[in-house]
Every structure is written in C-alpha cells, then in structure tokens.
Homo-oligomer: A and B are copies of this chain.
C-alpha cells in the first residue's frame, strides 16, 4: 500500500496539467468549472467544441483500448487524468455518456459493425449520447420497464413508450433505450437494448423544469420511433444484462474527478465564510471541518475501490463500492446546506456572482444526488442485502 507517485506518474500528471493550462484558455476559458451536474445547460455548443479540442489532444476515452481509439491508460493514470482535468476546472463532459457508458457497453457487447459505426464518433467528440432507462412508474424499480418494442418485417425495431430523467436529450444525437421486446414478460426478463437517433419523427423531447428553474432532465416520448435492425446491442431478451454491465462502469475512476470538483466547491464555501465573517462561527467551523474530512474519506474510499480486490470480488460487491454512492450523495447534499448557511441572507438572492451562483445551484441540484441513480432508500437496501447479507425485501408475486 503506497500513496507516493512514481516518477512516470508525476510526469504524466504534469503533462495533463500543462495541456489543460494551454488549451482551457482563450475562448474556452469561460468554461472553467462549468457544465457539471446542476449546470449542464451551460454553453452546450462551446462544450461540444471543447470535446473536439480534447479529442485533438487525444484526451477523450483515455481508458479505452487502443484498438478502439483510446489510450489504454492504467487505472492509476486514469485517476491522475480525471484529477488534473477537474483541478484545472475542466468543464462537465458533454461526451461522458458516450465515453463512460455506451462506449464501454459496445466494446463489451457490441458487434464489430456497431463498434466501427459508433466508437470513432464518440472518440472524436462528433456524436453525443443520452440514456433512456428510467420510466415514470419505474423510478427505483428499474426493471419495471413498460416501454415496448417490436420488430418490423424489415428487421427494424419500433419503440413505444416513455422515458424520464434523460439528461441532455435535447443536446444529444443518439439515445440508448431499454424496452420490453417480449410482450407479457416481467421485470428484467424479455428486454432489448436499442440504439436510436434522437432526431426522428417518432421521438419527442420535453424538458422537466427543476426546482432551480433549469431543465437539464427531460422526458422522452417514443411513438413508433425507429431503431435500425443492426442497432440492437446483444440479443433480444438480453437487454438487462447489457444495461447492468453499463451501470457497473458508472462507479469508475471519474469519481476522482468529481471529488476535485467537490473540493473546488468547498473552497468557494471557505472563501465565502472568510469574506462574510462566518468563518468565526463555531458551528460553521465544525461543519467545514466535517466537510473536509468527508473529502479525505471519499478520496481514500475511491482509491480503495479501484485497487484490485484481495479475493477477486467484482467492484460492485466490494464494501467500499457499495457505500460510495450513499456516502458522497449525502455528503454533497449536506455541503449544499452548509454553503447556504454560510452565505446566509446573501444566498437567498438570485445572482450571477461567480462566487455565489455555483453554490446556489449546488444547493438545489444536490437534492437530486440522493435520488437519482438509486435513491438513499434503494442504496440502503442494497448495502444491507449485498454488504451484510440481510434478508431481501419481500416482493409481491407478479
């Protein structure tokens, strides 16, 4: 067990840092620290250009195999990449669903043709993806998919139904969808995993207005929307397997970058507290100390998660991985409240002040952190059942 970097690691760290200094400047400078969760609507076009800037520097899909256009970076190097990207204020990645979710799924489950068709566009920052999992009546109950699909005579697929909480659908080119291909099937059986272009008559996107006023989530309505015959990933009926493999990947190295952004937010809070005098309030001091401690916990927890397991357990079953989502989301929600309590009355007023506005957005958007991607309640069930071997929730027979 060691934290000291190798000389190669240090050189690599400096390489990214210096690339970021050079390129996240000029017209891209206004993207610094922008576009993360809660701010995804910021500068969409410029952020797409930024994706191409990254691609030109070979900084997209850095963990992918070289055969698919990636850099095949080691876990350690990916950690360094994400940390330095975020430390430099690198903007929220428009390409992250392509790079982090559908790309890896295609590499694992896709056909040679699918790989050839889609991966280069993702690597190049030319095509952007949205995900279609959740449905209005299947919030935490992800497997309760009502959206249907069926195959036409020409082999193409049609999709009918509704997805919800689809981020950036209006800024994306493609969507992947989990739909029921076997009528009458239940739960995670009988599902298909389909790829659809968003710009087609059978798809309508309606933004969902959030409490903060923004609308980075959408409802997506499918009314006979078409997926080409060759755009099913895996076999019909295997959709759940593809989707779950992909969720697993979500808990990856990018968490280290997320933590750097959290640290940036805490810095903003500390600066605000020093500015308005609340840095001398004992209760605020204690909460800031706790928030800092949480950052240390998250960093070490993520490093633990990413280390090879002693007993070969898969990532998702490692104890530190089971708790991670619950820990960070509740920590972040508390950070939002801390930010507002530090700002006091100043925080109540709508403003564009870059020292305040990001904290306000964080306060509101962090409400979603403990809800999306498995609510607190679902997380605690999973931890108790998988981590502690306690009895599963009774589920009424279908």
Q: Which residues of A contact B (CB under 8 A)?
A: 282-283, 286, 394
Contacts and interface: CB of A to CB of B under 8 A. Distances in A.
Contacts of A283: 282-283, 286
5 contacts: A282-B282, A282-B283, A283-B283, A283-B286, A394-B394
A278 to B, nearest CB: 13
- What is the copy number of this chain in the assembly? 2
Contacts of A282: 282-283
Interface majority SS on A: helix, strand, loop or mixed?
helix
Contacts of A394: 394
A31 to B, nearest CB: 41
A283 B394 CA distance: 43
Contacts of A286: 283
A390 to B, nearest CB: 15
A283 B283 CA distance: 7
A392 to B, nearest CB: 15
A142 to B, nearest CB: 24
A12 to B, nearest CB: 44
A326 to B, nearest CB: 21
A394 B394 CA distance: 10
Nearest to A394: B394
- 5 closest cross-chain pairs (CB), A and B: A282-B282, A283-B286, A282-B283, A394-B394, A283-B283
Nearest to A281: B282
A371 B282 CA distance: 34
A268 to B, nearest CB: 24
A282 B394 CA distance: 46
A282 to B, nearest CB: 3
Nearest to A285: B282
A286 to B, nearest CB: 7
A394 B393 CA distance: 12
Nearest to A286: B283
A394 B282 CA distance: 46
A286 B287 CA distance: 14
A26 to B, nearest CB: 48
A325 B282 CA distance: 33
A395 to B, nearest CB: 12
A282 B280 CA distance: 12
A286 B282 CA distance: 10
